[in-house]
A and B are shown apart, each in its own frame.
Chain A
Amino acid sequence: MKEILSGNEAIARGAFEAGCLVACAYPGTPSTEILENTIRYKEINSSWAPNEKVALEVAIGASFGGGRALCTMKHVGVNVAADPLFTLAYTGVRGGLVLVVADDPEMHSSQNEQDSRNYARFAKVPMLEPSDSQECKEFTRLAFELSEQYDMPVMLRSCTRISHGKSIVDLGERVTGLPLPKLEKNPAKLVMLPGNARVRHPLVEASLQKLSADASSMVINRSELRDSSIGIITSGVCYQYVREVMPNASTLKLGMVNPLPYELIREFASQVDKLYIVEELDPFIEQQVRAMGINAIGKELISLCGELTPGRLRSAFGLPQPEAAPAEKLPGRPPNMCPGCPHRGVFFALNQLKAYVTGDIGCYTLGFMPPLSAMDTCVCMGASIGMATGVTKVVSAEEKKKVVAVIGDSTFLHTGINGLMDMVYNNSPATVVILDNSITAMTGRQDNPASGFTLMDDPANAINIPLLCKSLGVKNIRIVNPLDLEETRRVLAEEMERPETSVIITNKPCVLIKRDDVFQKGPVYAVDSEKCTGCRACLKIGCPAIEWRPAGDGSKKGKAYIDPLLCTGCDVCRQLCKFDAIGSR
């Protein structure tokens, strides 16, 4: 049967067909939908972990127990999971273990565009790279087989265009007859103390060498000879752009990017006059090909930054571009917090208090944008708290009071807890705001250990965040309603003044939350145009439901208007109106 599947759906399908028993992940664009699709297969136990390190450890445990296990994450997730990954390479696996990592060249929704292929090489782990959804499915199956055959974890690298692109996939059946999981002790292989690890490391090197030799005859590494004047080595989505733009060029399509099939590369290089490497981001293949003593052109033509497109590839090779209409000058349309979003009031207050805000990653990072403009740093998940501690170590006593860390519930549980531990332990006077909207909103509203539900939608323990903070030693814990501007501002001001660590936790849910009993829409608000003086105070919160309607006489005058279809009745704008012009209809 044929279906149109996204790369992520196809990876989930591939795991199902491969007999995978456990899938574990922490969400992250563009990888999130893989686990949201493994839940369609009841044979797979799928779960969200609090972070990528735990997710990989769960998969490792499942593999050591004898089951096939899948772990998925976005590229930066591997930074968090790197510790277990590097030693997993030494232990190898029992049940096949596949780690899917989805890169984001162009940073469509990421803070950097690191190239995960380097991790495969650095950690000494094989890596496959599919070029469309059909290959996503097939390569996932193959990755499980290779993992067991070579006793190594196998990484599968996707990217935004593969994970979120859709194409036609031929579905297959789930394999049967895999050995049943069962405890089995094998300390020499699984206990990585120096004595054991010293024995394992040479085995890893030998396996990689064998795999590289075997890879030259694997069908996923495919030499396609056409016009022999140009030969292009490429992989992943770049292969599609090469075929689109230079249909006559000979190509060596690599399905495995680590280790490289040296023999096949040498043979291909000898069959073409001029050799090019087409790859996004780092010169990963190029440097290795050059180290083989083969002359190849790559990054001289293709940027180290951003993603490739057919047009960019055409200009890299000096090919003619089709004539296109010039870009129109138009107002931009950046994303915005939703109408009624409980994060908005907090940033409004932080802006008024002129706080120095060490920020974090989530929907609330949009608090950086005008008119709220109340975020001063954003580095990686969990960084806000440690960085606030660091800032207070160097600035004057008066400036210390301005330092506020802002972090979401999912991010706090991901890697924020350790930062708070340190803040209390080392007695930083900074203030931490935990924006608890009861969900992981940014990546599409996933449940987390404080939301009360699992990925499978079963009820679960919900972490009590105030109690957790208390047990870390925080003495000043305040709960605020972020939709009450006066309360939020007052509590923030009080805690910023305090010369000890304090934590403020907001208590209103995300407006997009899926369970209908959690978020309730209030009565819709409207502007009384008789009373509206056009002072623009309500525009300062940047709510998409509020629109400035110019008088139309060319003057700066006008009035505010609330779109009844968008308003959630959060009441925040009413609190800003000094003229009592806003109220429920």
Chain B
Amino acid sequence: MNEQITNVLLVGVGGQGILLASEILSEAAMLAGYDVKKSEIHGMSQRGGSVVSHVRYGKQVFSPIVPEGEGDILFGFELMETCRSLPLLKPGGTVVANDLKISPPSVLMGQELYPEGLVERIKARFPDFLLLDGQQMAGSAGNVRAANTVLLGAVSRKLDIAEQHWMKALEKMVPSKALDVNRKAFQLGRDYK
């Protein structure tokens, strides 16, 4: 077992299911025998604001939030939010991002444009970058709403947690009627190169 603390940041837009994904990750880490802490701000998450969830696991975790600049993996559900959270990552950190753009109010109202070239900007700073179309892959697993699980599958390959713990965590956190689709979605993400 890895004694070091692993710092994961899950970021996106309120309503994208980030909290559930971070719960599954925390549960899997606990099942793998790690100490785990997780933290996020709930207040406005339902109303379309930015959401950042911190998950830390290892032998013994103190701070519930990832120290600035020490993130190992940034797991982005939306491109602009992924870009916004880059300062939390350590140099050489890993980015796994969903290829999805959700316009903020100023863009919806035509006052600003959704920024261009985000993928290139991220890649320039963090070469260890994996981009997936979570929606499309989830669709092929049977339900576009399982996009988060696809992404989680992709992130799982980068983490020191055995597959059996992920499966157990999915079983615990996902409603039984959605379990098959989610297992498939997870595997698609996990196998993605």
Residues A261-315 near B (CB distance < 8 A): 309-311, 314
Q: Cβ of B67 < 8 Å from any Cβ of A?
A: yes
Chain B, Cβ-Cβ closest to A166: B38
Q: Do A2 and B43 touch (CB < 8 A)?
A: no
Chain B binding surface, main DSSP class: mixed
B49 touches A333 (CB 8 A): yes
Contact with B along A324-346 (1 / 0, CB 8 A): 11111011111111100000000
Which of A132, A167, A241, A548 is in CB contact (< 8 Å) with B110? A548
Instruction: Please report which residues of chain B, range 121-137, place their CB below 8 angstroms from some CB of chain A when the two chains form the complex.
Output: 121, 125-126
In the complex the two chains form, what is the Cα distance from A30 to B39 in whole Å?
12
Q: Is the CB of B39 within 8 A of A164?
A: yes
Could you tell me the distance between the alpha carbons of A237 and B61 in the complex, rounded to whole angstroms?
12
The smallest beta-carbon distance between A572 and chain B, in angstroms, is 15
Map CB proximity to A onto B69-110 as digits: 1 under 8 Å, 0 otherwise: 110000000001101101111110000000000011111111
- A residues within 8 A CB of B41? 108-109, 160, 164
Does chain B have a CB within 8 A of A577?
no
Whether A241 contacts B62 by the Cβ 8 Å rule is yes
**Beta-carbon contacts under 8 Å, A400-419 to B:** none
Size category, B interface: 35 or more
One of A30, A311, A328 near B83 (C-beta < 8 A):
A328
Interface check A507, CB cutoff 8 A = no
Q: Residue on A with the closest CB to B40? A: A164
Smallest CB–CB gap between A112 and chain B, Å? 15
Complex contact A544–B109 (CB within 8 A): no
The reply on A576 being an interface residue by CB < 8 A is: no
Q: Does B143 contact A (CB under 8 A)?
A: no
Least distance between B88 CB and chain A CB atoms (Å): 7
Shortest beta-carbon distance, A254 to chain B, in Å?
Answer: 16
Q: How far is the CB of A331 from chain B (nearest CB, A)?
A: 5
User: A366 touching B63 by the CB < 8 A rule?
Assistant: no
A245 and B67 form a contact (CB under 8 A): yes
A332 touches B104 (CB 8 A): yes
Q: Give min CB distance, A191 to chain B, whole Å.
A: 42
Contact A334 B62 (CB under 8 A): no
- A157 interfacial by beta-carbon distance below 8 Å: no
**Residue B170 lies at the interface, judged by CB distance under 8 Å to chain A:** no
Q: Is B106 touching A336 in the complex (CB atoms < 8 A)?
A: no
A546 in contact (CB, < 8 A): yes
Which A residues are in CB contact (< 8 Å) with B40? 164
A211 within 8 A of B: no
A508 CB–B CB distance under 8 Å: no
B184 at the interface (CB under 8 A from A): no
Contacts A4-B38, A165-B38, A550-B110; A240 near B26 (Cβ below 8 A): no
Assess the B37–A165 pair: CB atoms within 8 A.
yes
Complex: A331 Cα to B40 Cα, angstroms? 21
Is A323 interfacial (CB 8 A cutoff)? yes
Would A310 and B80 be within 8 Å (CB), given that A240-B62, A546-B108, A547-B108 are in contact? no
Are A240's CB and B64's CB within 8 A?
yes
Q: How large is the interface on A (under 10, 10 to 19, 20 to 34, 35 or more residues)?
A: 35 or more
Shortest distance between the CB of B83 and any CB in chain A (Å): 5
A333 contacts B64, C-beta separation under 8 Å:
no
What is the CA–CA distance of A328 and B81 in the complex, to the nearest angstrom?
Answer: 10
Indicate if the CB atoms of A338 and B68 lie closer than 8 Å: no
A324 near B87 with CB under 8 A, answer: yes
Residue of B nearest to A329 (CB): B115
B67–A29 touching, CB < 8 Å: no
Q: How many CB-defined contacts (below 8 Å) exist between A and B?
A: 167
A499 within 8 Å of B (CB atoms): no
Q: Which residue of A lies closest to B70 (CB)?
A: A322
Which residue on chain B has the smallest CB distance to residue A328? B83
Q: Which residues of A lie under 8 Å from residue B43 when comparing CB positions?
A: 29-30, 108-109
* Distance in angstroms between the alpha carbons of A193 and B41 in the assembled complex: 45
Check: A214 CB closer than 8 A to any chain B CB. no
Given A160-B41, A166-B39, A167-B37, do A542 and B109 touch, yes or no (CB 8 Å)?
yes
CB of B17 within 8 A of chain A?
no
A363 within 8 A of B: yes
Separation of A245 and B88 alpha carbons in the complex (Å) = 16
**Bound-complex Cα distance A309 to B84 (A):** 18
Known pairs A327-B87, A333-B80; A322 contacts B68 (CB<8 A): yes
Known contacts A4-B27, A548-B109; decide if A167 and B64 are in contact (CB<8 Å).
yes
Q: With a CB–CB cut-off of 8 A, which chain B residues contact A168? A: 30, 35-36
B46 close to chain A: CB less than 8 A: yes
Contact A336 B47 (CB under 8 A): yes
Closest to A237 in B: B64
Residues from chain B with a CB closer than 8 A to the CB of A165 are 37-39, 64
Contact with B along A361-377 (1 / 0, CB 8 A): 00100100101000000
Establish whether residues B65 and A331, one from each chain, have CB atoms under 8 Å apart when the complex forms: no
Given A4-B30, A321-B69, A331-B104, verify A371-B121 contact (CB < 8 Å): no
B13 within 8 A of A: yes
Residues of B within 8 A of A43 (CB): none
Assembly CA distance A332 to B104 (angstroms): 7
Determine whether B112 belongs to the interface, using a CB cutoff of 8 Å to chain A: yes
- Determine whether A243 belongs to the interface, using a CB cutoff of 8 Å to chain B: yes
Chain B proximity of A461: nearest CB distance (Å): 28
Q: Which residue of A lies closest to B112 (CB)?
A: A331
A321: chain B residues at CB < 8 Å are 68-69
Q: Are B86 and A333 in contact (CB under 8 A)?
A: no
Q: List, in ascending order, chain B residues with CB within 8 A of A108's CB.
A: 41, 43
Contacts of B63 in A (CB 8 A): 240-241, 243-245, 310
Question: Residue on A with the closest CB to B126?
Answer: A325
Q: B103 and A547: CB pair below 8 A?
A: yes
Residues of B at under 8 Å CB distance from A? Answer: 13-14, 23, 26-27, 30, 35-44, 46-50, 61-65, 67-70, 80-81, 83-84, 86-91, 103-110, 112-115, 121, 125-126
Q: A444-B46, A548-B107 are in contact. List 9 more A-B contacts (CB 8 A).
A: A4-B26, A309-B67, A310-B63, A321-B68, A324-B89, A330-B115, A333-B80, A335-B47, A338-B47
User: Top 10 A-B pairs ranked by shortest CB distance?
Assistant: A109-B43, A548-B110, A311-B68, A324-B69, A310-B67, A322-B69, A335-B47, A165-B64, A335-B49, A335-B44
24 inter-chain pairs at a CB distance below 8 angstroms, sorted by A residue, are A4-B30, A29-B43, A109-B41, A109-B42, A109-B43, A160-B41, A166-B23, A167-B64, A240-B64, A241-B62, A244-B63, A309-B65, A311-B67, A322-B90, A324-B68, A324-B69, A325-B86, A325-B91, A330-B115, A331-B80, A331-B104, A333-B81, A334-B49, A369-B105
